[in-house]
Structure 1
Amino acid sequence: MTVRPEPAEGDAVDEAISREDVAESDLMTRRGKFRAVAFRDGHEHMALVYGTPTAHDNVLVRVHSECMTGDIFGAMRCECGDQLDAALDRIVSEGSGVFVYLRGHEGRGIGLLAKVRTHVLQDEQGLDTLDSATTLGFPIDTRDYRPAAKILKHLRVRSVRLMSNNPDKIRALEANGIAVVERVPLLAPATDHNVGYLTAKRDRLGHDLPQVDTFSSGYSYNRT
């Protein structure tokens, strides 16, 4: 287990998360060795740290919302699993970075059961990912990104290059003391299975997803 040095006097970086709510160890993966840091803050979250990102400013970071269907089972309805893989690959290729995995974000925060029910409405009634949630009485997005900011501060990360297409993540991190110096696009290929989902996120949530247009034009979009 990695032993973290005591904070310097006046350094409040660890105040938001108590020692009892953090555990860490090395984690060997098919991409190499990460430092796995588990956090408890309402939900149990995980940060995977590669290399020595805290030795640098402007750390490459992915804040990833939990998606069981996409991340674990490879569902093609969304691009979550593709983004998870692409973000970890990018961190390893650059030699350092932090991947923050946030629990409690399933279905943009409505939970797994409700998310599966929205899938039924999408399949049977043709509703998009947003209208299927509101039809069931749920908000469009209830995700809380404050735990991500707490985790990054605990890891002594103050400024980030954020791998994201979502402007809300940038605003949320900056509102909670994390400087986003660059947004790094994280584009998964559009397919027949996910283009409706991507289109709704682009047109109604303001996500930057140019691959939607290239897909409709018959060209593939290189996410790198």
Structure 2
Amino acid sequence: MKIEISNIANLPSRFGKYKIKAFKEGFKEHLAIYKEPFGDVTNVRIHSECLTGDAIGSLKCDCRDQLEASLKFIEEHSGMVIYLRQEGRNIGLLNKINAYALQDKGLDTIEANHQLGFKADERTYEIVDFILKHFGITKINLLTNNPLKLMGLKCVEVIARVPIVIEPNEFNEGYLRVKKEQMGHILDEK
């Protein structure tokens, strides 16, 4: 697939001053938000889009908290946040809201996805490999709790996993429990 790449622009934000570059893959446009210098081992967060959490501040997930923690980490230590346009574990916004409605009826996130005909997690990481190669990054410290991300990268060596520990709230405790118990997320390390 052909990937279109934008120019580099400055991105001052409430978390720090970054550079930003977009990568267009078909109809999806992904971002690399970064602060140099990278060094021999680059700190990288792969963050999948979550409109309800990232932009609206939903308390049903920990997405916004993870994104903000990652941006703060990158501001302090340099590195990159790769923002993937894979809403709702890549089932899309419409299906994510339908999954929310099923969760309101008592299903957990995995059961809701299965009820809609999807796997628990439909995300892929080929574009991440492309972006990392584009920047010449070969060794990373991966900011994640998700073991699938550790296994999903093919073009880099993961030197270390940096945990992102977020305090649960009354609305996302069940969601986080499912991530830990059924998806193998490592949530309780500091």
Same fold (TM over 0.5): yes
1:123 matched to 2:104? The reply is yes
Distance 2:15 2:185 in 1: 29
Q: Among residues 163, 166, 175, which one is paired with 1:188 in the alignment?
A: 166
Matches within 5 A, 1:144-163: 144-163=124-143
Q: How many residues align?
A: 189
Long gaps (5+) in structure 1: 1-15, 212-223
Give the equivalent residue in structure 1 for 2:118: 138
Q: TM-score, normalised by structure 2?
A: 0.94
Distance 1:88 1:17 in 2: 29
Q: Give the root-mean-square deviation of aligned CA atoms.
A: 1.5
- After superposing on structure 2, the runs of 4+ consecutive aligned residues of structure 1 that deviate more than 3 Å are none
User: Does the 8 Å contact 2:20/2:33 carry over to 1?
Assistant: yes
Q: Cα distance, 1:23 vs. partner?
A: 2.4
Identity of aligned residues (%): 41
Amino acid in structure 1 at the alignment position of 2:41 = N
Q: CA deviation at 1:190?
A: 1.1
Q: List alignment gaps of at least 5 residues for structure 2.
A: none
CA–CA separation in structure 2 for the residues paired with 1:89 and 1:32: 7
Q: Retained in 1: the 8 A contact 2:34–2:79?
A: yes
| TM-score under structure 1 length normalisation | 0.80
Larger radius of gyration: 1
CA contact (8 A) 2:34 2:74 kept: no
2:179 paired residue among 195, 201, 204: 201
The residue aligned with 1:172 is: 152
**Alignment deviations for residues 53-74 of structure 1 (CA, whole Å, 9 cap, x no partner):** 1xx1111110100110000011
Provide the rounded CA distance (Å) in 1 between the counterparts of 2:74 and 2:2: 25
Query: What is the match of residue 20 of structure 2?
Result: 36
